Structure 1
Amino acid sequence: MRNVVLVDPYSAGSALAPAFAERGVPAVAVLTTPEPTASFASTWHQENFVETFVLDDVDKLARRLRELDPLCVLPGTETGVEAAEHLSELVLPGQSNVLELSAARRDKWLMGVALADAGVPHLRQLSSSDPGEVAEWLRANDLSDSAIVVKPQNSAGADDVFVTRPGEDWRPLFDRILGSVNRLELPNTQVLVQELAEGVEYEVDTYSVDGAHGLVSVWRYAKQRQGNRLGVYLSTTVVPPGDEVIAPLFAYVRRVLDAVGLRNGPAHVEVMLTPSGPRLIEVGARLAGSDQQDVTRLAVGDSQVDRTVRHWVDRKHAVSGYELLRHVRSVYLSAPSTGVLRNAERLARLDELLPTFHSAVIAHREGSTVSRTVDLWTSLGHVVLASDDAAAIEADEQLIRKIESELSVEPSSSTA
């Protein structure tokens, strides 16, 4: 029996093995590290796999995988992208993406380089470990008195993404990132410095087959800055397919996908719609993470997981547009400071309080020790709202914000 090979099947990728199993296709796991990173450990389900390998000798593993005659080799999450593409080329040549551009689908600096090489509009940026080089680059690009972003090149979830305003010193933030270990447990050997893109940010989730790109769903982000932190999520809202923003966004995203060599599989693309037009924030050659597959299915009746199975099992119906079944919004909750969470009893009753309530992922309750929310990783959790009535969702988000405003965090003995 043929199988699928899943590399680092964590986060949203943990849904792939069960989805293939429903179609009678077993799954084999390949881990790029002996154990999942701490951020993904809770989503590793070894029981879903008939065999598990740890990536060590690539050529030896490729020979073993060829013996298993897999349908495909796929990444489960960001950390598995390059390994999956390399293994796929060794096991099933020509079936994945353009191998020479694999790093450009993972490294945020190289994404911008690929766009520049293809003539696709992009943000001005520099990758450096030298603050002197950064200062000179800012002067040469007339950005010394402009807002800029400094961030890791290979992380996720708005991890250590900072913004500095004109006149603010970016060097302490640069020094904080350089040499540190990010949320994916990778060392930050370089720092990415970019001009600040301002506008409305969108998540564009796609699926591609042999270079033809289909639109799975589009989501509008609402974010806020807290001090110098950029990327505190407020909400994500599905955008109806008839919205006027869809055509220019998708036209741009198709150019991005071609530029970074993505030909087969899902992509998660974050784009800022600026006054000058769309500009790429980043692209991931993998499934949209967290519970995005579930909420997409709720909104449009389809998901990247579903299309992945159709692509490799049915060999059809993976590239298309989408239809809106219902309005859906994920509303994120933030902690104002670090300490012990209080006044949180209503978080346990959201299903009773919100008419459009669908589900909630909230790890913290009354008495929990929480960290100040500065990115997606430190969010208190989120609530999924769904309804045929967009106004009802708006009203429920306002109630969530009222409950959030009543939360208090007491300094604990360890934080006082």
Structure 2
Amino acid sequence: MTPAKRLLLVGGSATHLSKARASGADILWVRLPEETGPVDTGDGVEVVHADYADAETLRRLAQEAHEVRPFDAVVSLTEPGLDPAARVNDQLGLAGTGFEVAHRFTDKYLMRRRLAEAAAPGIRLVACALVEDERSLRDFGAAHGYPFIVKPTCGTASFGVLKVDGPELTAAAWAEIGRLRTSDHPLVHAYDLGEFIMEEYIDGPLCSAEAFSFDGHHVVATVTEAITEESNHVHVGHAIPARVSPAVEADVVRVTGAVLDALGYRDGATHTEFKLTPEGPVLIETQARVGGALLNQLISTVYGLDLQELAFSWPLGVAPAVAERPKPRGGAASWLIVTEPGKVREVRGLDEILAKPDTVGVDLWVGPGDVVRSFDGQWDGLGHVASKGDDTTDAIERCRRSLAELRILTD
């Protein structure tokens, strides 16, 4: 009998664990010390609590465990775990993405520099610079025009994204950067907010390419239509397939492959965001993981492809490569759940939404007694409602109706 493969899972959720278990591998799951909630791990899973963001801590843990029984793959599907998992790949000589490539995805300034160095045809370069002080903000605006965007070089979920509309607002932007650097937001601790990047503003609709790479062959499962809340740049809605022309979709697919090639990415899931302009898709950013907002469930529903399961089964060598883009069957959409700040008193309508045949999923993160923060960023959302429909428009309408039926009452 062939022994089971062994996987090191760095961070992530119980859902990630269930997807990893589907590969049939034995799993060592490294969770942060504060992640002590009960999880039904099942057989073949060992859980250890350690600060995996500390390179030396994870290095020692991985080396000791590998010497007892070697790992076949190291995977993380959570943003704070991507660089740590890549370091372990380098350390143990495994075939997964190494740190040099992984860090091009987690550091937005490094990503822009690499794309400029590669000078790949078809990739529109965006002017950028690091924020040094208030004067650097004024200088960037003078050189590249207003508005422009400021955001952390390392971060996610649109946290800390600022739009500077004119020179009279640079002082306020510099003050906000200072505030963000010392933020006590409960989800900030996993990210380094010391460095901020300025980027020229790109106007146009937002979309993303959800792809999986098989030894350098990049397969875009879908192009996602994103709906953005203009007040805080949060992506509140996601719908697939995006309602764009075949020519625009082909351009997004082509540029996605060019970006991933330029960054040196060969294996695994990616979520790559673009603004659609008359001159073609312009890269905003890319992450070496499956996108959030229940996108994996949407893709599985419409295309029959589970990117999270592939993220584990492909590096373990237990799944074949996907040769061509899958064809859609209908549409699906998800929407961010928000409510008024305060303490949650009651949740209404959840059971009814879950019972609907067109519901793809609901991930509600709060319940009675929990505190709701003001809606300043993606992290302040309360989860998502996702629905399927005959096509994308139908799915969005069904999703919005279900969202309206969910009532989260706060005091």
Give the TM-score range, shorter chain. Answer: 0.7 to 0.9
Equivalent residue for 2:303?
Answer: 300
**How far 1:66 moved relative to its partner?**
5.0
Q: Is the 8 A contact 1:126 1:194 kept in 2?
A: yes
Q: CA RMSD in A?
A: 3.3
**How far 1:92 moved relative to its partner?**
3.0
Question: Structure 1: any 5+ residue segments left out of the alignment?
Answer: none
**How far 1:345 moved relative to its partner?**
3.8
> Residues 397 and 214 of structure 1: is their aligned pair in 2 closer, same or farther, counting only changes over 3 Å?
closer
> Residues 393 and 43 of structure 1: is their aligned pair in 2 closer, same or farther, counting only changes over 3 Å?
farther
- 1:312 corresponds, among 302, 313, 316, to 316
Equivalent residue for 2:148?
Answer: 148
**How far 1:315 moved relative to its partner?**
5.0
**How far 1:349 moved relative to its partner?**
3.4
After TM superposition, the structure 1 stretch with the greater mean CA deviation from structure 2, 211-220 or 369-378, is 369-378
How far apart are the structure 1 equivalents of 2:39 and 2:80?
13
**How far 1:191 moved relative to its partner?**
1.5
How far apart are the structure 2 equivalents of 1:60 and 1:356?
44
**How far 1:45 moved relative to its partner?**
6.1
Q: Is the 8 A contact 2:334 2:399 kept in 1?
A: no
Secondary structure at the aligned position of 1:245 is classed as helix
Secondary structure at the aligned position of 1:314 is classed as coil
How far apart are the structure 1 equivalents of 2:38 and 2:263?
28
What fraction of aligned residue pairs are identical, expressed as a percent? 18
Secondary structure at the aligned position of 1:65 is classed as helix
- 1:388 corresponds, among 383, 387, 390, to 390
After TM superposition, the structure 1 stretch with the greater mean CA deviation from structure 2, 315-324 or 395-404, is 395-404
Equivalent residue for 1:359?
Answer: 361
Equivalent residue for 1:50?
Answer: 46
Q: Is the 8 A contact 1:66 1:91 kept in 2?
A: no
Equivalent residue for 1:102?
Answer: 102
> Residues 396 and 216 of structure 1: is their aligned pair in 2 closer, same or farther, counting only changes over 3 Å?
closer
Indicate whether 1:333 and 2:334 are aligned: no
**How far 1:328 moved relative to its partner?**
0.7
Indicate whether 1:27 and 2:30 are aligned: no
Q: How many residue pairs are counted as aligned between the two chains?
A: 393
> Residues 133 and 239 of structure 1: is their aligned pair in 2 closer, same or farther, counting only changes over 3 Å?
closer
**How far 1:248 moved relative to its partner?**
0.6
How far apart are the structure 2 equivalents of 1:73 and 1:366?
37
Equivalent residue for 1:284?
Answer: 287
> Residues 365 and 288 of structure 1: is their aligned pair in 2 closer, same or farther, counting only changes over 3 Å?
same
**How far 1:216 moved relative to its partner?**
2.4
Q: Is the 8 A contact 1:310 1:318 kept in 2?
A: no
Secondary structure at the aligned position of 1:350 is classed as helix
Deviations along 1:19-42, one digit per CA (max 9) or x if unpaired, are 223xxx2112235x5444xxxx76
Equivalent residue for 1:85?
Answer: 86
Deviations along 1:141-184, one digit per CA (max 9) or x if unpaired, are 232xx112222222221112222323534223222223446634
After TM superposition, the structure 1 stretch with the greater mean CA deviation from structure 2, 297-306 or 387-396, is 387-396
> Residues 98 and 391 of structure 1: is their aligned pair in 2 closer, same or farther, counting only changes over 3 Å?
closer
Residues 197-212 of structure 1 correspond to what in structure 2 (within 5 A)?
197-212=202-217
Q: TM-score, normalised by structure 2?
A: 0.82
How far apart are the structure 2 equivalents of 1:241 and 1:403?
29
Residues 6-405 of structure 1 correspond to what in structure 2 (within 5 A)?
6-10=9-13, 13-21=16-24, 25-31=25-31, 33-36=32-35, 49-50=45-46, 52=48, 54=50, 55=52, 56=57, 58=59, 61-62=62-63, 64-93=65-94, 95-97=95-97, 99-119=99-119, 120-139=123-142, 141-143=143-145, 146-166=146-166, 167-168=168-169, 169-180=172-183, 183-185=187-189, 186-226=191-231, 229-239=232-242, 243-308=246-311, 309-310=313-314, 312-314=316-318, 316-335=320-339, 337-339=340-342, 345-346=348-349, 349-350=352-353, 356-363=358-365, 369-397=371-399, 399-400=401-402
Q: TM-score, normalised by structure 1?
A: 0.82
> Residues 333 and 243 of structure 1: is their aligned pair in 2 closer, same or farther, counting only changes over 3 Å?
farther
Question: Structure 2: any 5+ residue segments left out of the alignment?
Answer: none
After TM superposition, the structure 1 stretch with the greater mean CA deviation from structure 2, 163-172 or 363-372, is 363-372
**How far 1:343 moved relative to its partner?**
9.8
How far apart are the structure 2 equivalents of 1:297 and 1:387?
14
**How far 1:351 moved relative to its partner?**
5.3
After TM superposition, the structure 1 stretch with the greater mean CA deviation from structure 2, 166-175 or 52-61, is 52-61
